[in-house]
Structure 1
Amino acid sequence: MSVPYRCPNCRTNKSRFNLIRQVPQSVKMDPQSGEIVEEYTSGQLDPFHTPYRGPELKVQCAVCGLIEDEKTFVKFGEQSF
């Protein structure tokens, strides 16, 4: 379902946005070199590795550059000024 957005920062933009899809990659890195030692799939995380729980989508206002969760733009788009 489509919902209207509005930028909570510049307050005028209702049509120009960049949608940023977040794709988490679970890895174990070498602390000295920073190289990836191991890459995990979602089903094989070790007990000390918490899975990503952040939003799948972030939105950037293409007018002022503000980046926030999609919920922020949706909530502001519901309000009428």
Structure 2
Amino acid sequence: MTTPYRCPNCKTNKSRFNLIRQVPQSVKMDPNTGSIVEEYSSESLQAFHMPYRGPELRVQCAACGLIEDERTFVKFGEMK
């Protein structure tokens, strides 16, 4: 993370952010109770269980609260 950020919403914040690391947990849930029936590792996913393919990191502007993908803040930070 050596790229400057800037919030695309409030357009003024360049220094205060919350970095949100996303850690997916693959589970099978009981449809009636919502309790976890089985937990899968990334190596043991069943045929119909798609692995998580979203971003590992999300960023929240600590001034206005906007939460977006890190690329959004990076691209806006590159603009002068």
Same fold (TM over 0.5): yes
State, as a whole percentage, how many aligned pairs show the same letter.
Answer: 79
Can you give the 5+ residue segments of structure 1 that lack an aligned partner in the other structure? none
How far is 1:46 from its partner? 0.3
Instruction: Give the distance between the partners of 2:2 and 2:42, measured in 1 at CA.
Output: 29
Can you give the 5+ residue segments of structure 2 that lack an aligned partner in the other structure? none
Report the count of equivalent residues.
80
Aligned AA (1:10)? C
* SS of alignment partner, residue 74 of structure 1: helix
1:10 aligned onto 2:13: no
Report Cα offsets for 1:9-43 as digits up to 9, x if no partner. 00000000000000000000000000000000000
Name the structure 2 match of 1:31.
31
With normalisation by structure 1, the TM-score equals 0.97
Off by >6 Å, runs of 4+ in structure 1? none
Q: How does 1:43-62 map to 2 (within 5 A)?
A: 43-62=43-62
With normalisation by structure 2, the TM-score equals 0.99
Aligned AA (2:29)? M
Aligned AA (1:16)? R
Instruction: Give the distance between the partners of 1:62 and 1:10, measured in 2 at CA.
Output: 10
Aligned AA (1:44)? S
Name the structure 2 match of 1:41.
41
